[in-house]
Amino acid sequence: MIYSSQPPAACKEAPSFTSFQKGSMTVEAAFVLPLFLFAVLAMIYLLEIMAIQTNIRAGMQYAGKRYAENAYLTAFAHKETLEKDIVESIGESRINTSVIRGGSAGIDCSASYLDPIRQILFLKTKYTMKIPIPVFGIFDIKREETMRIKGWNGYTSSIPTSPEQRIVYVTEHGTVYHLDQHCTYLDLSVRMVSQADLEILRNQSGGKYYPCDKCGGQAGWGVYVTDYGDRYHTSLSCSGLKRKVYAVPISETAGKGACSKCGNS
C-alpha cells in the first residue's frame, strides 16, 4: 500500500481564500476610517457652531444691558458701540480663533435700530461662519441673531389704588384715555424707510403715507413713518412725531371714552 505525503487538493486552496478575506478587510478599512474621521470632524464643527451662537447671544445680552443702563443719554443705536461691547464680552482672542469669518471684524450690528419713543433697542447681529469640508472646500453659513432690549427709565408703582384713583394716560388733544401706557396709539414706533418705497408702503390700517404738513417735502434717502400714522416726516425732531402723554386719575377724564385697543384691559 502506497501513502502519499501530499495534502488533498482542497487543502491547497485554503491559503488563497484566506488572502481574499484579508484583502476585503483592508479595502473596507480604507473606506471606514475616512468616514469615521469625517464624522468626528463634523461633530467638532457642530459643537463649535453651537458654542459661537451661544457666545454671540451672551454678548448681545451684555451689550443690551450696557444700552439699558445709559438709555437716557442717547437717542440712537451706535453700531460701533454695540459691536465693541459684544466683542468685549466674548473676548477678542476667542472670536479671532473661531470659525467666524473676519474674526472680531466679522461682527456686524449695522441693522440695529432704536425706537426713540419707547426707548426699545432692536439689536440685530449678523456674522458668517466658515466651515471647511474636506475635498469640497470651505462653505459659508450666514447667521443673524435678534434681540429687543428696553431702556431703563424707572419703576412702575405696584401700590393698589381705588377705581376712582386708577391712573390712565391721555394726550394733549386726544378724545380717549388709555389704560396701557405702551398702547400702540401712544407709542408711535418711529422707523426710517426709503423714500422710494413710499408708493408701495402701507401702514397697519392699510393706508398710504402722505407728506407731513409741518416737515413734509423732498428729503434725502430716508424718511420717518409710524405704524399707525398716515404721514411721512423728513425730520426726526418734527412735532408730528412727538406726543405729550399725561398720567391722570381716571376720575379726571370726564367726557373722554376708553381707547378701542387698550380700554378693556
DSSP per-residue string spanning 128-142: EEEEEETTTEEEEEE
pLDDT at position 196: 81
Q: Nine-digit cell at 171?
A: 394726550
pLDDT at residue number 220: 67
pLDDT at 9: 52
Q: What's residue 30's pLDDT?
A: 67
pTM: 0.48
pLDDT attached to residue 125: 93
Residue 230, all three cell numbers: 398716515
**Cα–Cα distance, 177 to 6 (Å, whole number):** 113
CA distance 55 to 252: 51
**CA 114 centroid distance within chain:** 13
Q: What is the C-alpha to C-alpha distance for residues 183 and 169, in angstroms, rounded to an integer? A: 10
Measured between its terminal Cα atoms, the distance across the chain in Å is 116
- Model pLDDT for residues 76-119, shown as the tens digit of each residue: 678 888 999 999 999 999 899 888 999 999 999 988 887 766 67
The pLDDT assigned to 73 comes to 65
Q: What pLDDT was estimated at residue 100?
A: 92
What pLDDT does residue 4 have?
52
pLDDT lower than 50: segments of the chain: 1, 10-11, 17
Report the sign of the C-alpha dihedral through residues 265, 155, 84, 138, in that order: negative
Residue whose C-alpha is closest to residue 82's, from 90, 101, 50 = 90
> What's residue 167's pLDDT?
83
pLDDT at 162: 62
pLDDT for the residue numbered 230? 83
Per-residue DSSP letters for 211-256?
A: E-TTT-S--SSEEEE-SS-SEEBS-TT-GGG---EEEEEGGG-TTP
